[in-house]
A = this chain, B = another copy of it.
């Protein structure tokens, strides 16, 4: 049995819905990955009585509780006070915490407001958690059956403190036996096609198979029990990935962390110091925006429709002419931009086809490098947002396949 853990968030901005509680989701993911069973999230505002009641209940039902928020200097930051009352642990002045808070202001050449003194008052017996990223120290203590951790609500501070100070302590305090999750990430195959392709591969009963289908990728997920032999794990994953072929763009959980399609392209482009220039049409600027702030994208241009490219392209369309045009544009752009790779995306169909969810467009992608030119075409259906997104990803996938030495098709 895994130890149980609850997440508790304090703040009027969460309870009133002005802030979405992304901290709770992030902390839950981390805790599950460590080997906890997360049983509950609770968020309350700045009512002292609510906080006290909640802390008392949690102390009786959970093995661990991570609390965020309510550690600030203002009068609606009540967490320490609520802990003091709930567990009868009067607040005490922590001289080291006070010094750290003073330093925080001194380093920024700012006078420390008197109200920040409050942040140095910790419940009796609490262990201070030093915070190098903000003014408020966190703290931890045991109450009832539960080990409580109190962290600031600012996401960057919370994440840094969790990694630096909490993670190392969790494994000494709890017997954690996390399952090992491996995700095979594919783009271009639907969940049902994947299921068919891996249908005949035998999966041991202690390994859980699942799927997660998003708009940008489908993940085939395998949850292995704690201490499952690494070689058997790798062998099974390899067997499952094989029939999925070139559609696999990353495998997560066997070593190096992976990301989405663009993340994988970014790794390869940076490693090899390559550059890219693009022209997009159907994807409406979305292709460039998926690469925002990657240094390897030298330039990008978007034209609303193929017909507006200044070429004499008619709706309908002459496909050979479209491809010839795309190649000529790529070649032109190669000269002007000096980029290592050029991607050009054109499509056949007019604005009406693009907007009509019952009609399909066909996109034509050309990838040009110093020596060769590759091309793909894909039919895309559905509402305009889906068409735009699929077009952006299918064009990028041509580059990904080239970089990963996969077949281009």
Report A's interface with B, CB cutoff 8 A. Answer: 14-22, 24-32, 38-45, 47, 50, 212, 284-286, 288-289, 291-293, 295, 297-304, 308, 310, 336-337, 384-385, 388
Known contacts A288-B288, A288-B289: A41-B20 contact under CB 8 Å: no
* Residues on B with beta carbons closer than 8 Å to the beta carbon of A18: 25, 29, 212
A196 to B323 Cα, complex, angstroms:
60
A47 touches B39 (CB 8 A): yes
Instruction: Determine the residue in chain B with the shortest Cβ distance to A16.
Output: B32
Known pairs A39-B50, A42-B42; A292 contacts B297 (CB<8 A) = no
A297–B285 touching, CB < 8 Å: yes
- Whether A299 contacts B292 by the Cβ 8 Å rule is no
The closest CB in chain B to the CB of A36 belongs to B16
Q: Which residues of B contact A337 (CB under 8 A)?
A: 308
Using Cβ atoms and an 8 Å threshold, which residues of chain B touch A44? 39-40
- Cβ B24 vs Cβ A21 within 8 A: yes
CB distance from A390 to the nearest CB of B (A): 14
When the two chains form their complex, are residues B284 and A302 in contact, meaning their CB atoms are under 8 A apart?
no
Most buried by B among A19, A295, A384: A295
- Cβ contact of A21, chosen from B41, B286, B289, cutoff 8 A: B41
Chosen A-B contacts, 14 in total, with CB atoms closer than 8 Å, are A14-B25, A14-B41, A15-B38, A17-B27, A17-B32, A18-B29, A20-B22, A21-B21, A21-B24, A41-B41, A42-B42, A292-B388, A293-B388, A299-B303
